[in-house]
Structure 1
Amino acid sequence: MNYRIVLRTLGILLLCEAAAMLPSLVTAIYYRGNDIGAFAVTILLLLLFGVSMVKVKPKVKEIYARDGFAIVGIGWILISVFGAMPFYFSGAIPTVIDSFFESVSGFTTTGATILKQVEDLPRGILFWRSFTHWIGGMGVLVLTLAILPSVGARTLHIMKAESPGPAPGKLVPRIGQTAKILYAIYSLMTIVLAILLLLAGMPLYDSLIHAFGTAGTGGFSIKNTSIGAYNNIYIDVIITIFMLMSGVNFSVYYFIFKGSLKAALKNGELLLYLGIAAVSTVFIAINIHGSMFDSVGQSLRHAAFQVSSILTTTGYSTTDFNQWPELSKMILLVLMFIGGCAGSTAGGIKNIRLLILGKTIKREMVRIVHPKAVYTIKVDGKVVDEETVSGVMTFYFAFMAIFTVSLILVSIDGKDMVTTISSVATCIGNVGPGLGMVGPLGSFADYSVFSKIVLSFCMIVGRLEIFPVLLLLMPHFWKKVSI
């Protein structure tokens, strides 16, 4: 382990977080809130620690695989700790664990909250709360690479450790350039969405907040009843479309911009993702028509919004789907596990993994019938190597193992089964609201400190896709290789 390069890179990360907190400080000053001092103190602490760590001079400037995983794993914990400080220092969230839970939920784009009255918070705190979604959506370390690509050579290890999906890679030869392209697409989508929401009748401040949450697939709203508070069909449709867009692999948009529209539309993962969204919407619309909504239009509107919200792990709501029929709630629960596409801002297992798992099952069935047959797994006409297949299988097992253990630990609190299962599912899938007590109108406030720590761990594990966090727990991982 190259401790010096890890420490220096983490210092740069803290400086980036200090810069990212400035818009929230400006917002607090503009609205003359009582949170100005909280942001000022936190920024000073970030600068103090960041500058001290950046001064460390590594003898070897290469970032290897173990260094990349250490930077990502520790980095996300660090930014969550410092990100919690404005909540705690301002008094908006009076306890350390609750502040940490809210911060983790923001950066991991989960959207689970311990707050029962969101509208009572200062404007600067609400801005920071949603801006953490935008920062964490594409990845705070990818942002670091975009701003400071000269952190060191071989920084692909950082991107691979943080980016969602079984085989993340580069769009162009240079990592810094790839990061800039991703953030350019991300920023453009966010700006267009904010403008459209503004034109649809949403105030400017509200438009920015919900653009951050939608593009980052986070789901923190400034309204107690989420998007349903606006009761505006245009806002619902706009956010539905952009939630779905944010769940698509961002490389698809890059290839569309490069003129490869036909190839992008034939993407197997994209077709599976859109197919799941369409089928789920139809089934739920049929199920809630008549019992929850009188018109077909209303049924489709709310079904499409909620399917998009849960499948992309955004977590916004236009209605209390906790009151929907059991079939609809069961479909939404399953969607919490599926998630969006690899290379998107969405959480969950990812559609590409489900596609590879399905093809792997098919291959094993063919082998049973034809033992001598040679069957290769292909996605979009390209052969998937056995290392990737093995990685997908390992990820799926680890995901379900952590889900099961966390479920047992959280059940100590004695909540009902629906609440407990959906709480863990929504946290490890980075969705946000669950069912039962943690539904769209509920919160995680009534969970114990122990359960909040377990659920915070689930959120980080889900966002970093397990292995960067688990590696930190291995003693062998920390053995010193170079200085």
Structure 2
Amino acid sequence: MQFRSIIRIVGLLLALFSLSMLAPAFVALIYRDGAGVSFVSTFFVLLMLGGAFWFPNRHHKRDLKARDGFLIVVLFWTVIGSAGALPFLISDNPAVSVTDAFFESFSALTTTGATVIVGLDALPKAILFYRQFLQWFGGMGIIVLAVAILPVLGIGGMQLYRAEIPGPVKDSKMTPRIAETAKVLWYIYLGLTMACAGAFWVAGMSLFDAICHSFSTIAIGGFSTHDASMGYFNSPVINLITVVFLLISGCNFSLHFAAFGSGGLHPKYYLKDHELRAFFVIQAILFVVCFLLLLQHQSYDSIYDAFDQALFQTVSISTTAGFTTTGFSEWPLFLPVLLLFSSFIGGCAGSTGGGMKVIRVLLLTLQGGREIKRLIHPRAVFTIKLGDKALSQRVVDAVWGFFSAYALVFVLCMLALIATGMDELSAFSAIASTLNNLGPGLGDVALHYGDINDKAKWVLVVSMLFGRLEIFTLLILFTPTFWRS
């Protein structure tokens, strides 16, 4: 294990993260809301800490191994999540505890969108912008951004990329060089953010709200600048724009690269992707079920309103964004429970969505079908195929291993929450929401997480990290084999 090289890299990444404090400081200067001091102070603190890690180890430039990459990713998210809490601690508005500051920071960076802060409409603009900005960084992964920059500083990036990018198959690269891959990802990410902000602005949002909500929409995070979330705007047009960009962001970003990378639009890459087709089939089924049940229960005055709310909430919850326009927990109980379970599927691999990813659920379904066929024809040999491509048993085993680990972490975290005194429904939905990086839940966490006890909040922070790092990246650090030289 290259510990000094790892410390050097973490120091560089921490110093880079300090630059993100300048953006909300600039917003504070524009709106003169008095919150700039906390961001400027945090900038200097993080810059000095990063320098303190980097300077003694600046000459240790060695090649990283796979396990070094895993450790760096976990350290970085832990360190940055902790560093991101500083502005909340220093700021007078909102006045939050240490636990709440860490919870809000980790929730933003992991794009969970669960908040402990109430009264968003009265907060300084700089604080609101900062929350959204953290989600935007976390959406694609600060590590990927760093990979695009750090090769200039003598740091190889493939190990970091393998540990950070979601999905069951991590060996493929869209371009020959990992730095170029990371840059392409961010170009696509930035382009979608600008397009989303422009659409929101044209639809009637203020420029500030349009920019902030584009951050959390493309990141599939769910934070808003208003307590009523998207319901504040009461606009079917804004709801539809949100749905469109959530669906785009829920797709594998490598598909966007393939479709637009060669100049012009090549829709064939979307049409022939089995995961994407499964993703839209799932969305369609969920929408139809929600829409018909809302009509049956006469939850809204008109068919148009039922259509608008069913479409928005279906896409928002199932893609793990967590935006709300209405108290979906007040719908007929079957629907919020159904949507909560749909968040376990989440978005496509290589997207900014959470959950287990569509491709894994698709492979589990195909594997289940194969086992049924084996029971009927014990001597036959069946292979699992995606289209014409047969998948190796190693990929199938990896998916089953991930599913088992996911279920184990879910059960352990839920039991830990119940042990803190939380009721069963709230504990189940809170873990489902944080492990899937969704945000809103049911019961005590239907609106916000501010009323639960501090021990429960720390359990949920761990759950967020497990979900963001896709279980194994964090779980592997608890195995003795990992630490053996």
Which TM-score band applies after superposition, normalised by the shorter structure?
Answer: over 0.9
Deviations 1:316-374 (A, max 9, x none): 01111011012211211111211110000000011000011111112222222223322
What corresponds to 2:427 in structure 1?
420
State the shift of 1:153 in Å: 6.0
What corresponds to 2:213 in structure 1?
210
State the shift of 1:306 in Å: 0.7
What corresponds to 1:411 in structure 2?
418
What corresponds to 1:314 in structure 2?
321
State the shift of 1:45 in Å: 1.2
**What secondary structure sits across from 2:478 in the alignment?**
coil
1:437 is matched by which residue type in structure 2?
D
**What secondary structure sits across from 1:148 in the alignment?**
helix
What corresponds to 1:7 in structure 2?
7
What corresponds to 1:63 in structure 2?
64
1:153/1:19 CA distance change after superposition, 3 Å: closer
The separation in 2 between residues aligned to 1:423 and 1:291, in whole angstroms, is 29
The separation in 1 between residues aligned to 2:79 and 2:324, in whole angstroms, is 30
What corresponds to 1:84 in structure 2?
85
What corresponds to 2:475 in structure 1?
470
Say whether 1:368 aligns with 2:375. yes
The separation in 2 between residues aligned to 1:381 and 1:149, in whole angstroms, is 38
Instruction: Give TM-score, length-normalised by structure 2.
Output: 0.95
Whether the 8 Å contact between 1:111 and 1:219 is mirrored in structure 2 is yes
Say whether 1:430 aligns with 2:437. yes
The separation in 2 between residues aligned to 1:334 and 1:43, in whole angstroms, is 40
State the shift of 1:228 in Å: 0.3
**Gaps in structure 2 of 5+ consecutive residues:** none
Deviations 1:419-460 (A, max 9, x none): 221111000000011112212xx2111211111110000001
State the shift of 1:58 in Å: 5.2
Whether the 8 Å contact between 1:357 and 1:393 is mirrored in structure 2 is yes
Indicate the larger mover: 49-58 or 269-278.
Answer: 49-58
What corresponds to 2:16 in structure 1?
16
1:268 is matched by which residue type in structure 2?
H
Alignment of 1:280-429 (within 5 A): 280-289=286-295, 290-429=297-436
Whether the 8 Å contact between 1:14 and 1:49 is mirrored in structure 2 is yes
The separation in 2 between residues aligned to 1:149 and 1:93, in whole angstroms, is 40
Structure with bigger RCO (C-alpha 8 Å, 6+ apart): 1
State the shift of 1:294 in Å: 2.3
Indicate the larger mover: 407-416 or 349-358.
Answer: 407-416
Whether the 8 Å contact between 1:217 and 1:346 is mirrored in structure 2 is yes
Say whether 1:234 aligns with 2:240. no
Whether the 8 Å contact between 1:287 and 1:327 is mirrored in structure 2 is no
**What secondary structure sits across from 2:344 in the alignment?**
helix
1:383/1:152 CA distance change after superposition, 3 Å: farther
Deviations 1:281-337 (A, max 9, x none): 111011112521122221111111111111111110111101101221121111121
Say whether 1:180 aligns with 2:186. no
1:262 equivalent among 243, 265, 268: 268
The separation in 2 between residues aligned to 1:104 and 1:313, in whole angstroms, is 16
Whether the 8 Å contact between 1:134 and 1:212 is mirrored in structure 2 is yes
Alignment of 1:90-129 (within 5 A): 90-91=91-92, 92-129=94-131
The separation in 2 between residues aligned to 1:305 and 1:149, in whole angstroms, is 41
1:447 equivalent among 441, 449, 452: 452
The separation in 2 between residues aligned to 1:336 and 1:74, in whole angstroms, is 27
Whether the 8 Å contact between 2:61 and 2:155 is mirrored in structure 1 is no
**What secondary structure sits across from 2:101 in the alignment?**
helix
**What secondary structure sits across from 1:375 in the alignment?**
coil
The separation in 2 between residues aligned to 1:392 and 1:266, in whole angstroms, is 22
Whether the 8 Å contact between 1:255 and 1:261 is mirrored in structure 2 is no
What corresponds to 1:133 in structure 2?
135
State the shift of 1:260 in Å: 4.1
Whether the 8 Å contact between 2:61 and 2:154 is mirrored in structure 1 is no
State the shift of 1:74 in Å: 0.7
Q: Figure out how many residues of one structure are paired with residues of the other and give that number.
A: 478
Instruction: Give TM-score, length-normalised by structure 1.
Output: 0.96
State the shift of 1:388 in Å: 1.7
State the shift of 1:379 in Å: 2.0
The separation in 2 between residues aligned to 1:427 and 1:345, in whole angstroms, is 15
**Gaps in structure 1 of 5+ consecutive residues:** none
1:58/1:311 CA distance change after superposition, 3 Å: farther
The separation in 1 between residues aligned to 2:164 and 2:82, in whole angstroms, is 18
State the shift of 1:462 in Å: 0.1
State the shift of 1:79 in Å: 0.5
1:125 is matched by which residue type in structure 2?
I
Alignment of 1:142-157 (within 5 A): 142-150=144-152, 152=154, 154-157=156-159
State the shift of 1:154 in Å: 4.9
What corresponds to 1:271 in structure 2?
277
State the shift of 1:81 in Å: 0.4
